[in-house]
Structure formats: structure tokens, C-alpha cells
């Protein structure tokens, strides 16, 4: 890490004192840390504290020529391997979402091409306000990595969602992002996403709650790491990721055909789709009119797409997801064995704010030897990176 530069932006929150720990941990890893304090942050922590930790000048004012940088926001924006804003207030999140550049930090962020990480910290009401959520969604869309906030004790004395994520988690994520290379160049990755629709009649279908976010995050992450990505997508309202070949399907049968057609060229198959296990035996050509009190539908099994790819040759690395409501690890491991997978990503879909439809996911990654890596609640973009980290490691072996 010794040739890396991280710009640490600190904004005006009571959690600003924890940014000192973030600066310290990054510095101890040999990273060059350039600190920018907003005016509000200087009321909570002093520039001298960060200067003492990082041994670098601290920027607090766009118009003071205190540092080695000539036009600071441009120079720092270019020098940064990564920018982290920790803590990030509702105010800075709104400014970044709106493209406002009225101080050193916002100017630097707007001018950079480096990856950006933010760690929000604020009162629960401010965090859950629809405006803040809309702004965060905009930053996610622009590939910002968002860490936390977590549930816990807040400065107000109450307990709720809005607490600053642990500094060690922020530092781990930064190091993960910094060490990532274009390590999937030349690799073909086949990914499935979203929930299949099994038609009953021209109006109705059997479906599930998958939004496609997990599969789409995997596709974007694999693309960014240099892979050629084919994304077989069941219906979703998500925009198609740029630079990814998307194959639209509706049903489990269509997804199965698309996977069989594409798999021979794949180095890695990742099935994040929620595939219907059953579909109606008969699809009615006309809308079924309501008549009796009861309507009994007869269903039949759909193909188990992942299991069917077990014997294919050449054999790609095969990764499945397991969405479980009970006995998470035992059930997921059973699926790994039944489908002869290299990895399974176990999803406890009962955790609030995780799994189906959510922006975050809390998963455990299980390999063939039974080794279990339990991850905290992370953005799906970060879960995607962690899954790909494991895939890259397995390919290398
Ligand atoms: O789309 P999101 O809203 O972001 O939600 C993400 C998710 C919860 C859908 C995702 O993380 C997830 O867990 N996907 C797998 C859901 C699922 O169908 O799990 P399962 O345990 O029923 O299936 C196990 C594996 O077999 C999965 O990889 C699945 O794609 C595959 N499968 C299942 C049935 C079937 N007929 N064919 C299959 O290939």
C-alpha cells in the first residue's frame, strides 16, 4: 500500500473524532493520507490532530495556500487512488448527489476519477428521510461505495440506524478497493439475475421478490475488473449496465436455454437469479375469468439450471446463491454439494434490509472444503466484489 494515496474527507458530525482512527489505521498501513476537513468538521476535530497522525498538511480552506498543492482540489483529485468521506453527513451526501462544488472537499470529489467511498453517520430520521435515501441511491448509481451506517447508540442518546460504521470495517473496505486490479481481463463471466416469471395466462404469472440488484452488481463489478460479461436477466426495472451483454429472458425454461447456449465459453458461471422451482403445467391462451371461489393450479418442476451445468465440459467455475429462511449454513452447504458447486453464497433472507429487493446483503461464502467466510451487512456492490475476489483466487489455484 506504500505507493497509494487516499484522500480522507471529514465532515461535520460528532463521529468526526472516529475519522482520526481511520487516518491512523491507513497511515499505519503505509498509505499516504491527505486530509480535507470541511468548515463544519473543524468544530469537532482540529487540523492539528490529523496533521500529527498523517504528517501531512491538512486542507481546511480552498483559498488558503497552506499546502504543497498548487490548485489543491485538482491536484488531490488527480493524486488520489481513492477518496473516502468519513463521516459523511446528510448535507455532504446531498451536495455530492447534486454535483455542488463549493469547498475543497466537494471540488475534489467532482474533479476525481478515483473510486469514492462514503461512510454516512447521522440521526435516524435524517438517514431514513426519503430525500437522503434518494441522494444515496444516486451516489450508488454513480458507483460510490457506501459503508454503513449501522444500528446502535446515536449522539442524541437514542438507539437507531445512523451510527458510523466501525473504522476497522472502513479501512478493510478501502484496502480491498485499493488492492483490486484488472484481474479478470480475458475472462468470460456468465451471470444470471432477477426472478423468473412463469405465465399462468396472458395476464398473470408466478414470480418472486428478486429485484435483480445482486446479479446486476456482480455484472458491473466483473466488467470493471476487465471481464467480458454476459448477463442473463429475468424481468427487472434496473437499467442495463453499460459494457455488459444482456440477454433478456422471462421463464426458467428460457433461462435454462440461454445458460446452455452460453456456458461452453464461460470461465465462471454465477447464478444470482431467483429461478422459479415450479411453473404451471398449462399456460392458458386467454385470460381466465373469475368464476368459482377456488382456482386450483397444477404446477410442475422447472429445470434446475445450476444442477444441469454440473457435467458440462469444459467445466467453468460454478457459483450459486442460496436464499434461506432457516438453517442457513446447513441448507446452503447441502445445495453446494447437491449441485456440485465451487462456491455457494448463503443468504439469510430474513435479515431486515438484506436480500430480496434491498440495496444491501448479508452473506456467508462457503467453499467445497466447508470453509465459511461470514461477511457483515454490505452494499450489494461490495458483496459482488468479495464474491469475485474469491472467484479470482479459485481460478488462480
Ligand atoms: O435480486 P435481488 O433483489 O438483489 O436479491 C438477491 C437474491 C436474494 C435473489 C440473491 O442474492 C439470491 O439469493 N439468489 C438465489 C435465490 C434462489 O433462487 O436461491 P435457491 O436457494 O432457491 O437456489 C439455489 C441456487 O440454484 C441459486 O443459485 C439459483 O439461481 C439456482 N437455481 C434454483 C432453482 C432452479 N430451478 N434452477 C437454479 O439454477
**67-85 per-position pLDDT tens digit:** 545 566 688 999 999 999 9
pLDDT score, position 330: 97
Q: What does the pLDDT look like over 36-56, one tens digit per residue?
A: 999 999 999 999 999 999 999
Q: 5-178 and 188-396 share one CATH topology? A: yes
List the grid coordinates of 140: 450508488
Q: What CA–CA distance (Å, rounded) separates 11 from 32?
A: 20
Looking at per-residue confidence, does 191 or 242 come out higher? 191
Q: Provide mean pLDDT across the span 355-371.
A: 96
Q: What CA–CA distance (Å, rounded) separates 172 from 6?
A: 13
Quote the ligand 1 centre to 278 CA distance (angstroms). 13
Quote the ligand 1 centre to 1 CA distance (angstroms). 37
Looking at per-residue confidence, does 127 or 242 come out higher? 127
> Which residues, 6+ apart, have CB-to-CB distance to 14 below 8 Å?
44, 121, 155
Q: Provide mean pLDDT across the span 317-334.
A: 97
Q: What CA–CA distance (Å, rounded) separates 375 from 328?
A: 14
- Asked whether residue 156 carries a pLDDT value surpassing 90, the answer given is no
Does the 188-396 domain belong in CATH 3.10.20.740?
no
Q: What does the pLDDT look like over 374-388, one tens digit per residue?
A: 999 999 989 999 999
Q: What does the pLDDT look like over 274-319, one tens digit per residue?
A: 999 999 999 999 999 988 789 999 999 999 999 999 999 999 999 9
Going by CA atoms, what residue is nearest to atom 13 of ligand 1?
A: 323
Active site residue ranges: 208
- Asked whether residue 100 carries a pLDDT value surpassing 80, the answer given is yes
What atom of ligand 1 comes closest to residue 273's alpha carbon?
30
Quote the ligand 1 centre to 274 CA distance (angstroms). 4
Q: Provide mean pLDDT across the span 342-353.
A: 95
pLDDT score, position 179: 79
Going by CA atoms, what residue is nearest to atom 14 of ligand 1?
A: 272
What atom of ligand 1 comes closest to residue 236's alpha carbon?
1
If one residue of 217, 273, 330 were mutated to test the ligand 1 pocket, choosing by the most ligand atoms within 8 A of its CB, it would be: 273
Quote the ligand 1 centre to 356 CA distance (angstroms). 10
Quote the ligand 1 centre to 60 CA distance (angstroms). 48
pLDDT score, position 293: 85
What atom of ligand 1 comes closest to residue 209's alpha carbon?
3
Q: State the chain's mean pLDDT as an integer.
A: 93
If one residue of 323, 335, 338, 387 were mutated to test the ligand 1 pocket, choosing by the most ligand atoms within 8 A of its CB, it would be: 323
According to CATH, the superfamily of the domain at 5-178 is Flavin prenyltransferase-like (3.40.50.1950)
If one residue of 274, 304, 343, 375 were mutated to test the ligand 1 pocket, choosing by the most ligand atoms within 8 A of its CB, it would be: 274
Pocket of ligand 1 (CB under 6 A): 194, 210-214, 252, 271-275, 277, 302, 304-306, 320-323, 335, 347, 349, 355-357, 361
Could you state, in order of their start, the residue ranges of all structural domains in the chain? 5-178, 188-396
Residues 272, 116, 376, CA angle at the centre, nearest 5°?
45
Going by CA atoms, what residue is nearest to atom 35 of ligand 1?
A: 304
Amino acid at each position: 500500500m506504500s505507493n497509494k494515496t487516499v484522500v480522507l474527507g471529514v465532515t461535520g458530525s460528532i463521529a468526526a473524532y472516529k475519522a482520526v482512527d481511520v487516518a491512523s489505521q491507513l497511515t499505519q498501513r503505509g498509505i499516504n493520507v491527505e486530509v480535507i476537513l470541511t468548515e463544519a468538521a473543524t468544530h469537532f476535530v482540529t487540523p492539528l490532530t490529523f496533521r500529527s497522525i498523517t504528517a501531512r498538511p491538512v486542507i481546511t480552506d480552498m483559498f488558503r495556500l497552506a499546502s504543497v498543492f498548487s490548485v489543491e482540489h485538482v491536484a488531490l483529485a488527480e493524486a488520489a487512488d481513492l477518496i473516502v468521506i468519513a463521516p459523511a453527513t446528510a448535507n455532504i451526501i446531498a451536495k455530492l448527489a447534486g454535483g455542488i462544488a463549493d469547498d475543497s472537499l466537494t471540488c475534489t470529489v467532482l474533479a476525481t476519477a478515483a473510486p469514492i467511498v462514503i461512510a454516512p453517520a447521522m440521526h435516524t430520521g435524517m438517514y431514513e428521510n426519503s430525500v437522503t435515501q434518494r441522494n444515496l441511491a444516486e451516489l450508488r448509481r454513480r458507483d460510490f461505495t457506501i459503508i454503513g451506517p449501522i444500528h446502535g447508540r446515536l449522539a442524541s442518546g437514542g438507539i437507531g440506524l445512523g451510527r458510523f460504521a466501525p473504522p476497522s470495517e472502513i479501512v478493510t473496505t478501502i484496502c480491498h478497493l485499493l488492492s483490486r486490479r484488472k484481474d479478470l481481463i480475458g475472462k468470460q463471466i456468465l451471470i444470471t439475475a432477477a426472478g423468473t416469471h412463469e405465465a399462468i395466462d396472458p395476464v398473470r404469472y408466478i414470480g418472486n421478490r428478486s429485484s435483480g440488484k445482486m446479479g446486476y452488481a456482480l455484472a458491473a463489478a466483473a466488467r470493471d475488473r476487465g471481464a467480458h460479461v454476459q448477463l442473463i436477466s429475468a424481468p427487472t426495472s434496473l437499467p442495463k449496465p453499460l459494457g455488459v451483454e444482456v440477454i433478456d429472458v422471462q421463464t426458467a425454461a428460457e433461462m435454462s436455454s440461454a445458460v446452455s447456449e452460453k456456458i461452453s465459453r464461460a470461465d465462471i458461471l454465477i447464478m444470482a437469479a431467483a429461478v422459479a422451482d415450479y411453473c404451471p403445467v398449462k399456460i392458458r391462451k386467454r385470460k381466465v375469468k373469475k368464476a368459482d371461489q377456488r382456482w386450483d393450479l397444477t404446477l410442475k418442476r422447472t429445470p434446475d439450471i445450476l444442477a444441469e451445468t454440473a457435467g458440462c465440459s469444459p467445466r467453468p467455475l460454478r457459483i450459486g446463491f442460496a436464499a434461506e429462511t432457516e438453517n442457513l449454513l446447513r441448507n446452503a452447504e447441502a445445495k453446494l454439494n447437491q449441485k456440485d458447486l465451487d462456491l455457494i453464497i448463503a443468504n439469510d433472507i430474513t435479515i431486515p434490509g438484506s436480500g430480496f429487493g434491498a440495496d444491501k446483503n448479508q452473506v456467508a461464502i462457503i467453499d467445497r472444503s466447508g470453509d465459511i467466510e461470514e461477511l457483515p451487512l454490505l452494499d450489494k456492490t461490495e458483496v459482488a466484489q468479495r464474491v469475485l475476489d474469491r472467484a479470482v483466487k479459485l481460478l488462480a489455484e
